[in-house]
Structure 1
Amino acid sequence: MKAFIVLVALALAAPAFGRTMDRCSLAKEMSALGVPRDQLARWTCIAEHESSYRTGVVGPTNSNGSNDYGIFQINNYYWCQPADGRFSYNECSLSCNALLTDDITNSVRCAQKIQGQQGWTAWSTWHYCSGSLPSIDSCF
C-alpha cells in the first residue's frame, strides 16, 4: 500500500518537473509557432546544450545571484520576473515560472526576443551551435 501511495504522489508531482523533449519534437513545435525553418537547427542545438531539451529546468545560481529558466535557460535578471520578487528588467513581461511549463510558447517568444536584440551569442553555449549543424529535415 505504501508503494502505491508513493507512486500516486510521484505521478501527481510529475507535471511540476516539466517535460523532456527531443530534437524533432522541439523543431516541430517551434515550426508550428512560426519559427522560421532555417533557424530550427540552431534553436534545437541551443536547447540541447542549455537544458538537454527539458522544459522545467532552473539553472544553478549565477555569480550575480540570478538564475536561468526553462528549455532555453532564460535569465531572470533581464528577461523574466522571479517568483521571489527580486528585481528584474523583465523584458519579456512574464513570470519566470511561465518558462517552466510544458507549453513552450512563452519560452520560444522570449528566446526570439533575446535573439532579436542580442543575437545567437546571448547563449553561452552558442559556440557549440555556431558551425554547420545537422539538418532538421528528417523531423518533418
Structure 2
Amino acid sequence: MKALLVICVLALASTPAILARTMDRCSLAREMSNQGVPRDQLARWSCIAEHESSYRTGVVGPPNSDGSNDYGIFQINDLYWCQPPSGKFSHNGCGLGCNDLLSDDITNSVRCAQKVLGQQGWSAWSTWHFCSGNLPPIDDCFK
C-alpha cells in the first residue's frame, strides 16, 4: 500500500501542471479586449469559443479525420498551428507548443487565434456557421 502511495505521489509530481478554467462570454470578451483585440470582433470570438470548447481553456479535442487534434479555448489545430507534445510533425505557424494553448492564461491562445484569423479567416473554425450571422451585442459585458 505504501509503495502505491509513493508511486502516485511521484506520478503527480512529475506531471506538468496545466491550470485550466472555464470562462464565460463576458469574461472572455473583457480579457480579449484587454489584450488589444478589436471590440467589433469580440462577439464572434465569444461565439467560436462557446461552440468549440464551451469556453474551457484546457480542452484537447478528439482526433480529426487527418489524425490531428485541436487545442484550447479556440480549438487550434496541431497540424498547422502548434507543436503537439507527441513530437509529430507540425507546421507550427504560431511557434509554440500545443500545451501552451491549454493554460488558464489565454494570451497564447488569443495571439495564435488572431494569426489563424489573419491567414485563413473566420471559416478556419468548423463552427463558424453558428457565428456568421447577427450575434448578440457584446457591449453589455463592459458596463
Using the size of structure 2 for normalisation, the TM-score is 0.87
**Separation in 2, partners of 1:48, 1:81:** 24
Structure 2 gap segments, 5+ residues each: 1-8, 10-14
Q: Find the counterpart in structure 2 of residue 53 from structure 1.
A: 55
Partner of residue 44, structure 2: 42
8 Å Cα contact 2:80/2:91 also seen in 1: yes
Match of 2:68 among 66, 69, 80: 66
Q: Deviations over 1:75-115 (max 9, x none)?
A: 00000000110000000000000000000000000000000
Superposition deviation, residue 16 in structure 1 = 3.4
Q: In structure 2, the residue corresponding to 1:20 is in which secondary structure?
A: coil
CA contact (8 A) 2:19 2:104 kept: no
Distance 2:20 2:58 in 1: 4
Secondary structure in structure 2 of the residue aligned to 1:60: coil
Deviation at 1:17? 5.7
1:81 aligns with: 83
Q: Which structure has the larger Rg over C-alpha atoms?
A: 2
Report the 3-state secondary structure (helix = DSSP H, G, I; strand = E; otherwise coil) of the residue aligned with 2:18.
helix
Q: TM-score, normalised by structure 1?
A: 0.89
Tell me the equivalent position of 2:129: 127
User: 2:4 maps to what in 1?
Assistant: none
Percent identity, aligned pairs only, is: 77
Aligned residues: 129
Structure 1, unpaired ranges of 5+: 1-8
Mapping for residues 21-40 of structure 1, pairs under 5 Å? 21-40=23-42
The structure 1 segments of at least 4 consecutive aligned residues displaced by more than 2 Å after TM superposition are none
